[in-house]
Amino acid sequence: MLLKSLFKLLFSSDQQEKNLIRSLRNLLGFYPGNISVYQLAFSHRSISRETDNGVPLSNERLEYLGDAVLGAVVADMLFKKFPYRDEGFLTEMRSRIVSRENLKNLAVKIGIDELLQKEAAIGTYRSMYGDAFEALIGAIYLDKGYAKTQNFILERIIRIHVDLHEIEQTEKNFKSLILNWGQREKHSIVFETVEEEQKDRLIKVRLLVDDNEVAVGIDFVKKKAEQIAAQAACTTLGLL
């Protein structure tokens, strides 16, 4: 009851609620059961209010839950689709599918940008659409359970909006990604070789951002070690 009354402040009219139910029916392929949990999924922290016990009323907790459910569904799907590929390949594919950039693009494709309730200019929160996408997954899970959520992800997201073959064929240049980020955000990016390249010897590369070590890459080939370090740094800095 408390949750519903609080949401009356955020979604003030019955007509707004009816419009949301209609939009969700088109988006999900089924009618929502507990509309309040979806209202929460589309409540960005820029409009959050606190409950009586001081908990912010925003989609951040649902985002956490949705991230875990989405990761599990995608991991299971990839495991079955690519039975002869190793763990490294599966991990990389999953990372690309659930990356911040890809989730943001998916959110815009399915219209989450139009449903998100916020008081923030575009660009203020770089990942708010991708976060809302994960929060929606969390809401579906709470409302309908795992099987229904899995079906939504696989049939209405992956099958329609994700080209697995294209993702598989795309080799991401993490070094270029972090160098472009450094140039754009005015950060110094340095790849420092710790051990000189020698035949049949592992090479260690440190990646420094503003003279601070952020990641390390190790390989027999210097360029590959740099890519490993760059990928780790991109993950740490939230660029993926």
d(CA 38, CA 46): 17
Residues 21/27/32/34 CA torsion (nearest 10 deg): -80
Round the CA-based radius of gyration of the chain to a whole number and report it.
21
Catalytic residue among 63, 131, 134, 143: 134
Q: Is 119 labeled as catalytic in the residue annotation?
A: no
d(CA 197, CA 223): 11
d(CA 148, CA 165): 25
Which pair of tokens denotes residue 212?
Answer: 């601070």
Rounded to the nearest 10 degrees, the angle between the axes of helix 60-81 and helix 128-144 is 80
Cβ–Cβ < 8 Å for 143, 32: yes
Which pair of tokens denotes residue 120?
Answer: 């923030």
Q: Is 113 labeled as catalytic in the residue annotation?
A: no
d(CA 111, CA 19): 14
Catalytic residue among 50, 52, 63, 67: 67
Cβ–Cβ < 8 Å for 202, 219: yes
Looking up tokens 């890809």 gives 102
Sign of CA dihedral 48, 49, 55, 57: negative
Considering only the C-alpha atoms of the chain, give the largest distance between any 2 of them, rounded to a whole number of Å: 71
- Residues that are catalytic: 67, 134
